[in-house]
Structure 1
């Protein structure tokens, strides 16, 4: 995946990719029947293809390196970052986090439905990261800017879900996102961030399912 930071990218395709990703997000947000769970993932795949060709998809979904260690480090990091974010949000800023409506009434079957949506979230974040880093020259500074901007956008996309609680989406949602991205970069594959993201969300969902029975 890191090869795409300096690979030839179709600059005319950048605005098209951004429009596609936004359209996928809107499709999910308005719960359009049948396609909504897959909308962002589909937009992400198409965006990778029009930006980098087949190599965009191949490199992004390459075989992960250091998968096991990166997975556990990333998962632990996500919970630590989220925990610190909860402390900042509640204790320092005095803001009460809102619940995720998707979690309400979640079932074991419903967990499977979240997989394409979480894949879409990984793709929209990584595609944005690739675009920003590539446009800025693929340097370490460009990568740092790409991580910050893509992470913040990821958080802001959750504003409607969490009743426009800016503190929550920045310090909890976006903060927990950082280890997902870093894990994908360390393993050089989107798969690792996806596996961590699924595990992280499912742990919370399963706890809610059990507590409601």
Structure 2
């Protein structure tokens, strides 16, 4: 799936400067395979079903090895659906080989996202009375193997969050690309999926809409950037994992010192 789209020369003229011009984003212009409107609706429905499966099953498996089950459902449901709609090789268009330059991108956006997280966190704290993320309490309350399991299943869930963001982004881009130029279509699709990402986190933040939107939309846009640059979901996932694992690790250290 690392082969560039046939019309990449034309598409590169419409790309942002930060994008790697040797390949285009998948699916929205028919490469490596075209997905019709019905197919995209099925994929979007599977993303929603996967999220519902995550929310429903997490309370059923609060500890132990079973904590991996909700995260695995979150990842596999949309990928299997994409394979059913667009062919078994279609999910491979999201996953590419990591190169040395990708590591630099991951680390760079990890640092940038840390800065953005601190800044928006300070802004939200100044503007509103905020609700805490219960994931921090969960890792500090974990004991023994459950602490190791926590970092394992959260890594899988964060991959699921990238799939949850990128598949709708590509679906929106496929819809918008027929109606406007590529650059505004990319911007609108990115903003739309960032808002969705923020809104689905409302239960996490006790339905505090301003905190979720102001706090998470900029962070989600930063996390999407590695994928937009490299076309590789591993880069955005690795950035996301580094970011959240750092937060969880600090929470765990802080909890153990009390």
Q: Fold match, TM over 0.5? A: yes
Q: CA separation in 2, counterparts of 1:60 and 1:98?
A: 34
Q: How many matched pairs? A: 211
* Stretches of 4+ aligned residues off by more than 6 angstroms: none
* Structure 1 gaps, min length 5: none
2:245 maps to 1:202: yes
Written as runs of structure 1 = structure 2, the 5 A alignment for 1:107-122 is 107-122=147-162
Q: Is residue 173–residue 186 contact of structure 2 (8 Å, CA) maintained in 1?
A: yes
Hey, what does 2:28 align to over in structure 1? Answer: 5
TM-score (norm 1): 0.90
Say which structure, 1 or 2, has more relative contact order (CA 8 Å, 6+ apart).
1
TM-score (norm 2): 0.76
User: How is 1:130-149 mapped onto 2 (pairs within 5 angstroms)?
Assistant: 130-137=170-177, 139-149=182-192
Secondary structure in structure 1 of the residue aligned to 2:26:
helix
> Quick one: which of 86, 98, 104 aligns to 1:52?
86
Aligned counterparts of 1:130 and 1:51: Cα–Cα separation in 2: 14
2:50 maps to which residue? Answer: 24
Unaligned runs of 5+ in 2: 1-23, 140-146
Aligned equivalents of 1:5, 1:19: Cα separation in 2: 18
Q: Distance in 1 between matches of 2:172 and 2:98?
A: 23
Distance 1:81 1:52, change over 3 A: farther
2:8 alignment partner in structure 1? none
